[in-house]
Structure 1
Amino acid sequence: MNSGLPEVRNIGPAWLTAGLDRVRRIDWPTHRALHGETPLLSLGELIMLAEAGNLRGRGGAGFPFARKVMAVAESANQKRSEVVVVVNGTEGEPGSYKDKVLLTRAPHLMLDGAVLAATALRAREVIVGVTDPEAQVSVESAIAERGLTGLARVVRFPERFVTGEGGALVRGINGLKPIPPGRKVRASESGVAGLPTLLSNAETYSQLAMLASLGADGYRMAGTAEEPGTILLTVLGSAKSPAVVEAPAGIPLRVVLELCDADPGDGVVIGGYHGKFISGEAAMRAELSRAGLKPVGTQLGAGIILPLGPDTCPLGEAARVARYMAGESAGQCGPCALGLPVLAEAMEALAEGRGGSVTLETVRRAAGAVKGRGACSHPDGLSRFVLSALEAFKEDVNQHVLNGSCGRKVLGRLPVPMEEPSQPTVGRLVVDWSRCDGHGLCAGVLSGYITLDIHGFPVIPNSPLPARLEKDAEKAIAMCPALALRLERNGGH
Structure 2
Amino acid sequence: MSNAQVPPVATIGTPRITAGWDDYGRLDLMAHQEVHGGFSALTSGELIGLADRIELRGRGGAGFPFAKKVRAVMDSARRQDLPPVIVVNATEGEPPSWKDKAILTRGPHLILDGAALAAAALDAEEIVIGIADDGIGQNSLAAALAERRMPVPTRIVTVPHRFISGEGGALVRGINGEAHIPPGRKKRASDSGVNGLPTLLSNAETYSQLAIAARIGPWEYNAVGLPEEPGTVMLTVGGSAKNPAVVECPTGTPLSDILAMCGASIGPGVLVGGFHGKWITREAAERIDVSRKGFASVGGTIGAGMILPLGDSTCPLGEVAQVTQYLAGESAGQCGPCRLGLPDLARTVTMVALGGSSLENVRAAAGVVKGRGACSHPDGTARFAMSALEVFAKDVEAHANGEGCGKPTRGILPLPYRTAEGAMTFAVDWSRCDGHGLCAAVVPEVIRLDANGFPAFPQTPLPPWIEPSARKAVNMCPALALRLTTSGGGKH
Q: Do both share a fold (TM > 0.5)?
A: yes
Q: State the 1:460 CA deviation.
A: 8.3
Q: State the 1:429 CA deviation.
A: 10
**1:126 counterpart letter in structure 2:** I
Distance 2:339 2:18 in 1: 40
Asked whether the equivalents of residues 86 and 124 of structure 2 are also in contact (C-alpha less than 8 Å), the reply is yes
Q: Which moved more, 1:461-470 or 1:119-128?
A: 461-470
CA RMSD of aligned residues (A): 3.0
**1:413 counterpart letter in structure 2:** I
The number of aligned residues is 466
The aligned runs of 1:449-464 (5 Å cut-off) are none
Residue 77 of structure 2 aligns with which residue?
Answer: 76
Asked whether the equivalents of residues 345 and 448 of structure 1 are also in contact (C-alpha less than 8 Å), the reply is no
Residue 369 of structure 2 aligns with which residue?
Answer: 370
Which blocks of at least 5 consecutive residues in structure 2 are unaligned? 435-440, 484-492
Asked whether the equivalents of residues 349 and 448 of structure 1 are also in contact (C-alpha less than 8 Å), the reply is no
Residue 489 of structure 1 aligns with which residue?
Answer: 481
1:179-228 deviations in whole A, cap 9, x for unaligned? Answer: 10011110111010100010000000000011111111101111101100
**1:425 counterpart letter in structure 2:** A
Residue 311 of structure 1 aligns with which residue?
Answer: 313
Q: State the 1:134 CA deviation.
A: 3.4
1:285-327 deviations in whole A, cap 9, x for unaligned? Answer: 1221111111210110000011100111111000110111111
Distance 1:230 1:60 in 2: 16
Which blocks of at least 5 consecutive residues in structure 1 are unaligned? 433-441, 478-485
Q: State the 1:449 CA deviation.
A: 5.1
Change (3 A) 1:39 1:201: same
The aligned runs of 1:263-302 (5 Å cut-off) are 263-302=265-304
Residue 412 of structure 1 aligns with which residue?
Answer: 411
Partner secondary structure for residue 425 of structure 1 = strand
Matched, 1:395 2:394: yes
Change (3 A) 1:427 1:350: farther
Distance 1:430 1:372 in 2: 42
TM-score norm. by structure 1 comes to: 0.88
1:2-36 deviations in whole A, cap 9, x for unaligned? Answer: 11100000001200001111222100000000111
Change (3 A) 1:276 1:451: farther
Asked whether the equivalents of residues 428 and 487 of structure 1 are also in contact (C-alpha less than 8 Å), the reply is no
Partner secondary structure for residue 24 of structure 2 = coil
Change (3 A) 1:124 1:462: closer
Distance 2:385 2:454 in 1: 22
Q: State the 1:489 CA deviation.
A: 2.4
Asked whether the equivalents of residues 449 and 456 of structure 2 are also in contact (C-alpha less than 8 Å), the reply is yes
Distance 2:306 2:339 in 1: 26
The aligned runs of 1:198-237 (5 Å cut-off) are 198-237=200-239
Matched, 1:126 2:118: no
**2:76 counterpart letter in structure 1:** S
Residue 65 of structure 1 aligns with which residue?
Answer: 66
1:330-353 deviations in whole A, cap 9, x for unaligned? Answer: 111111111111111121121122
Asked whether the equivalents of residues 428 and 464 of structure 1 are also in contact (C-alpha less than 8 Å), the reply is no
Structure showing greater Rg: 1
Distance 2:352 2:5 in 1: 33
Q: State the 1:448 CA deviation.
A: 9.3
Distance 1:400 1:451 in 2: 19
1:340 counterpart (332, 339, 342): 342
Residue 25 of structure 1 aligns with which residue?
Answer: 26
Identity %, equivalent residues: 53
Distance 2:75 2:189 in 1: 13
Residue 486 of structure 2 aligns with which residue?
Answer: none
Asked whether the equivalents of residues 85 and 119 of structure 2 are also in contact (C-alpha less than 8 Å), the reply is yes
**1:23 counterpart letter in structure 2:** Y
2:179 counterpart (146, 165, 177): 177
Partner secondary structure for residue 241 of structure 1 = coil
Q: State the 1:367 CA deviation.
A: 1.1
TM-score norm. by structure 2 comes to: 0.88
**1:48 counterpart letter in structure 2:** G
Partner secondary structure for residue 296 of structure 1 = coil
Distance 1:351 1:219 in 2: 47
**1:266 counterpart letter in structure 2:** P
Residue 108 of structure 1 aligns with which residue?
Answer: 109
